[in-house]
Structure 1
């Protein structure tokens, strides 16, 4: 379990529920001092030390440097059936896809703090005005990332239906010697041809007496991500073959202070800031009704917090981590464009004006967590509580200048929010016990309880036309049971059942679009939480020459939230609306199953090859089925990764060749069935591709390392399923969608190069 540096400002007045929980934590800590019988060395519970039923991949800062990771797509590019969808580059990554599910169905936590919810406006994605992104941390601020495949509510919380991504930020100790006064510095700079990005990062750490401090600052400046042929058709409109031009800038800062109160306790302060600015010339949207569209977008995530760690052997715990977080996430999309709409027979819809549309989504989180560890005989117990106070606010403002007159007067209007201003109160209790039954059997038992209360109210931005706003409450009970049975000194069988849940988001319950006589999306405040039950079984071998894992899983999802089309009447015409409108609902069961394989081999120990020569192989296959028998659209095709690496005996240079196989998506695995029973197949499918990537490093000086990479060495033209599955030609509004060879702008990059230089001292 990641150490939780869950931040918040102690200068603000705490809500009563947080004050109560904090008082409980302080009383426990006070009691611990009163009955202390032994001082222990201060320890940190790391993510990989807690056994799980699901499959866990841990990526370290060394891995991030060696594999030249610049963004979250790079982070998981060599992990089968874990991916990140860039989609429209204007909005950045929209979350992770694990075992076939994505976005809010995969939990994302940074130092234990959940990241923001998505807001993507289900009824109006084709217009491209707004799509909230969840990722608000830069790669250079991280020392470890834990990828959890499978349900993991006990330790990863809300949203971990299919898995979780748990990130841990760097600490001063990562740059310092174990004891004594010390200072450490690191400077890293790099260039990647993938998006013509320049990066510079500076880290400084210090220990003076009992105080440790850290600063990590990163700056990135780049452009649009390239596609396969940047010399493709450079035109406006849906037939555009090259990506829309973009300039983007990212600034990230992480600050930590940790002070040793006693030999077995410490108090710390953490602050982080992430800001991304992107200016996108949306030329692919120009044409017909729209022209001169430019997106000027801003993403900001701020966090400040305080934490207290205590190691002391008591009747209730051996160690405790108390932390308070205050996080603010702001996403703002500004769209500049000229609109010229002429609809014969509907004079009220005729428009010729310049517009600046500003859509913003702000999410505030105040979170208190108290986590305990206790060892009793053969039992290792982890338990704790969590309290969250959330607030959500969305606004949509339009400035317009009528081009049919000469006044040049801009008029500002409130066009209504996509979701109402809302608050959410969340209470959580959890416990996990890991223990032994004899010498060869390890068991895991875990239980978690979550209580949610949402409160939404109408205001000047959101009117309650559908009479659905108010207070909504529900709770969720999740659990896990696992066993690891040793079969021999080298072979073991792992099996387990784990559960996950996802609370309905504000968008799920309250999102509305259209007008009262012509809805596009209608809310449903009676939604239930989604649940998943994940069954994992694996045969694991650990040998002197390496390890191997062969596993299978099955996941059942209940009360899956989906959208259904309901026919309605458009009173503008007095006729039934052939398009109908969308309503979220809890569908019947969804089932997923799959196979996973991984092996790591030291070729020197296995077959007497050169020392330092290693090989690894991993592959994953997933199949998913909805209640009506349709395939789950977001499931990735079969893919496999084969890596051959070499590290010189001195460790001063090394190389890695990675071969990635991605199977193409098939029609029979990607259709929807409409109300008449007709199968609707996708317009575009991903193709089968085998890719080769080469990465090398060399130590130019003792503390100076050069890392270089060449990606897609054979210059293969290919498309990923996550990039093309969102494309829909069915939307016939002028200037929207893909026509002709416009799909080419969604192709992946051809051959590209990257170089980094890392200095530590």
Structure 2
């Protein structure tokens, strides 16, 4: 059993006391229930009778936020945290404190699903054209019962804009801080049984940080074909060309203060990233009865990326390379992945019983080749080998094939009580070939995931729900290559929640509150290990367990007296339940090892691994308290202001709970003006103008902080000490502005 403090139970008790007028003896007739869950189509009305916490954001709400990245869209959802990697789109989403603990580039345990396609992004970031989002739904808790691998803590389901049954053209232009510029053109057309949509958008920015310019061009094309009154065919295509340079990292708090733009600071781990993304899917839908339907989707997602990585610390002669040598990187990597798959779903209702069944087949292929960008050494030692320019340091091909079947059963026990059960079985086959050594490896995993839940209607305004759900993630082939006994990670999420609509101080208010307890078992990361001869090696292993528990509350009011409000609050207690074997590197982690800190005479060529037991330490970058409050003031019919306060309490930056990230509160202000004017032709055009100010008080804070070991400073020299000067930090740009005009005619 799991333990939750009694104080967590106050939330549902308070909400239930507001509305305790449940009349159990009212006559009723059993209603017809429907399964809303789908791994193909997003059904936002699944909010009702759903025994899991989920949040839906409409396309109109997304457009009104005028966001530059998905972090700005999701920060109003309780339980969501995210790391920002410089200006623009480098965002990694985390849910309920479930996250790998050490590096920027690790998967966050959140499934990203775009139009039914499970997008695998190696570093966990979300690459999508923000102007092409129709809606976002966030499902919290283990969600592998529907979305499969990597849904350890939940899923972000994105539905892109599709063809509309209308004819119009939209033009959009925006300007902003640091050379930000956006241009957009979209058009809808509709004729009889066929409708279509085309969109082109371009974004670019010079970036606040030195060498942080980035740009993107996106193309999308959509068609809807009504084959008959009850069958449809949809085609979606999206292509995105991305370029992002550095992320603005500095090394340590002194550099963060003296050089926040990172002009003379350190070099980030990667630079000069070019990405070409292409995604398409074809969906067939057939309604074979009033309550039954069939959906079939085929898809392909392709990612071709090249980038520089690993700043050179010592050149081919063993001399230290200063961080002012901005182009001194060890590797050039060319990476290509292709995801293909087919899904089939059938659902039907039988009075108070509803069933959904699905099949999911995926074939994911990955290829990469890494070559040395220049001559370099890992250590200044004269005995350290030289890696010469052009040397192929790694080359591999990997495949991951998934065969899965999943189902949902929903049963109306009474007119007030709905039971839900989900089950999914995945057979995952991994194959790997190292093209340099010709070594081959393969692994197979058979994994089950499930959900059980209940929703109880107390009145027509209030219901309570409770559920247990699971999530999983298999080890990657690169992790298995270091240790073939690594087991999959698993999560189990327990949740009790309340949904209600109540008048509060005169405002009609929607309330969703929940308490949760999530256990993550066998999480995987790299460890330092020694063989009997004393030789050192780094491998991946299941090193411990994590507990995340807390309270989430979301409030949203209707408009009254020209005002409305939104509130999202999270209390999160996320800590290591077991983590007894962590080694922190002091000195050059690739240097020769010494057995005590006193023997660390030359940290540039030596290393001492200090042992820690991190049990009960807080998980890094998981603030205990998070709150987002938005006030919408409708001054006139066509004009309204939104003021947003976003708060994060302090947290730790490392696994040993030594270096703290300070609390911060941001104030953001947006002014929107919407009206209809005669601009072109004989009909009115829709006009939307906005001005947005982020961080209006110009508060300086760190948008991302990580720490894991002693690191070389600005001169590329190790000092053998781990402290706040070894943190990898990205300083937020401070106050920024953007303004734009949209015309739809």
State TM-score, norm by structure 2.
0.76
Structure 1 residues 643 and 354: alpha-carbon distance in aligned structure 2, compared to 1, 3 A threshold: closer
Structure 1 residues 550 and 305: alpha-carbon distance in aligned structure 2, compared to 1, 3 A threshold: closer
**Alignment map for 1:71-220 (pairs within 5 Å):** 71-87=69-85, 93=90, 95-102=92-99, 103-118=107-122, 132=123, 134-173=125-164, 176=165, 182-193=166-177, 195-220=178-203
Structure 1 residues 201 and 742: alpha-carbon distance in aligned structure 2, compared to 1, 3 A threshold: farther
* Structure 1 Cα separation of the partners of residues 312 and 570 of structure 2: 47
For residue 380 of structure 1, report the CA deviation from its aligned partner.
3.0
2:287 to 311, 326, 329: 311
Match of 1:267 in 2: 233
Match of 2:563 in 1: 613
Match of 1:394 in 2: 368
Q: Does the CA-based 8 Å contact 1:218-1:251 persist in structure 2?
A: yes
Q: Does the CA-based 8 Å contact 2:249-2:729 persist in structure 1?
A: no
After superposition, give the CA deviation of every residue in 1:350-392 in whole Å (9 maximum; x if it has no partner). xxx9778421222111100012221111223222101001111
Structure 1 residues 481 and 287: alpha-carbon distance in aligned structure 2, compared to 1, 3 A threshold: closer
After superposition, give the CA deviation of every residue in 1:628-687 in whole Å (9 maximum; x if it has no partner). 33322242331111221123573x111111122221126xxx664xxxxxxx4444x221
**Alignment map for 1:672-751 (pairs within 5 Å):** 672=655, 680-683=656-659, 685-699=660-674, 701-702=676-677, 703-720=686-703, 723-726=704-707, 728-731=709-712, 734-735=715-716, 746-751=730-735
After superposition, give the CA deviation of every residue in 1:94-118 in whole Å (9 maximum; x if it has no partner). 5211111243411111111111242
**Alignment map for 1:14-25 (pairs within 5 Å):** none
Match of 2:552 in 1: 596
Match of 2:738 in 1: 754
Match of 1:655 in 2: 641
Q: Does the CA-based 8 Å contact 1:281-1:293 persist in structure 2?
A: no
* Structure 2 Cα separation of the partners of residues 288 and 244 of structure 1: 9
Q: Does the CA-based 8 Å contact 1:539-1:550 persist in structure 2?
A: yes
Structure 1 residues 186 and 587: alpha-carbon distance in aligned structure 2, compared to 1, 3 A threshold: same
Secondary structure of 1:528 counterpart: coil
Match of 1:490 in 2: 461
1:322 to 279, 296, 302: 296
Structure 1 residues 581 and 196: alpha-carbon distance in aligned structure 2, compared to 1, 3 A threshold: farther
For residue 395 of structure 1, report the CA deviation from its aligned partner.
0.7
Q: Is the deviation greater in 734-743 or in 206-215? A: 734-743
Match of 1:36 in 2: none
**Alignment map for 1:39-78 (pairs within 5 Å):** 46-51=42-47, 52-78=50-76
Q: Does the CA-based 8 Å contact 1:267-1:307 persist in structure 2?
A: yes
Secondary structure of 2:145 counterpart: helix
Match of 1:583 in 2: 539
Q: Does the CA-based 8 Å contact 1:282-1:293 persist in structure 2?
A: no
Aligned length: 620
For residue 576 of structure 1, report the CA deviation from its aligned partner.
5.2
Q: Does the CA-based 8 Å contact 2:53-2:497 persist in structure 1?
A: no
Structure 1 residues 252 and 553: alpha-carbon distance in aligned structure 2, compared to 1, 3 A threshold: same
State TM-score, norm by structure 1.
0.75
Q: Does the CA-based 8 Å contact 2:706-2:728 persist in structure 1?
A: no
Q: Does the CA-based 8 Å contact 2:341-2:360 persist in structure 1?
A: yes
Secondary structure of 2:167 counterpart: strand
Q: Is the deviation greater in 621-630 or in 162-171? A: 621-630
For residue 270 of structure 1, report the CA deviation from its aligned partner.
2.1
Q: Does the CA-based 8 Å contact 2:308-2:329 persist in structure 1?
A: no
**Pairing 1:298–2:274 present:** yes
2:315 to 341, 349, 368: 341
Secondary structure of 2:519 counterpart: strand
**Pairing 1:646–2:633 present:** yes
Q: Does the CA-based 8 Å contact 1:53-1:498 persist in structure 2?
A: no
After superposition, give the CA deviation of every residue in 1:697-721 in whole Å (9 maximum; x if it has no partner). 112544111111122222222234x
For residue 745 of structure 1, report the CA deviation from its aligned partner.
6.3
Q: Does the CA-based 8 Å contact 1:290-1:337 persist in structure 2?
A: no
* Structure 1 Cα separation of the partners of residues 355 and 738 of structure 2: 45
* Structure 1 Cα separation of the partners of residues 114 and 559 of structure 2: 36
Structure 1 residues 340 and 116: alpha-carbon distance in aligned structure 2, compared to 1, 3 A threshold: same
Q: Does the CA-based 8 Å contact 2:706-2:727 persist in structure 1?
A: no
Secondary structure of 1:246 counterpart: coil
Structure 1 residues 584 and 658: alpha-carbon distance in aligned structure 2, compared to 1, 3 A threshold: same
Secondary structure of 2:60 counterpart: helix
After superposition, give the CA deviation of every residue in 1:167-220 in whole Å (9 maximum; x if it has no partner). 1111112xx3xxxxx412212221232x53101111111112221111111101
Secondary structure of 1:172 counterpart: coil
Structure 1 residues 602 and 279: alpha-carbon distance in aligned structure 2, compared to 1, 3 A threshold: closer
Match of 2:494 in 1: 535
Root-mean-square deviation (Å): 3.5
For residue 742 of structure 1, report the CA deviation from its aligned partner.
9.5
After superposition, give the CA deviation of every residue in 1:106-144 in whole Å (9 maximum; x if it has no partner). 1111111111242xxxxxxxxxxxxx4642311111101
Structure 1 unaligned runs (5+)?
A: 1-43, 119-131, 177-181, 227-242, 347-352, 403-409, 511-522, 570-574, 605-609, 673-679
Q: Does the CA-based 8 Å contact 1:116-1:363 persist in structure 2?
A: no
**Pairing 1:244–2:210 present:** yes
Structure 1 residues 289 and 744: alpha-carbon distance in aligned structure 2, compared to 1, 3 A threshold: closer
Q: Does the CA-based 8 Å contact 1:289-1:735 persist in structure 2?
A: no
Secondary structure of 1:421 counterpart: strand
Match of 1:38 in 2: none
Match of 1:371 in 2: 345
Match of 2:583 in 1: none
* Structure 1 Cα separation of the partners of residues 173 and 340 of structure 2: 35
Match of 1:501 in 2: 472
Structure 1 residues 95 and 145: alpha-carbon distance in aligned structure 2, compared to 1, 3 A threshold: same
Q: Is the deviation greater in 552-561 or in 444-453? A: 552-561
Q: Does the CA-based 8 Å contact 2:233-2:282 persist in structure 1?
A: yes
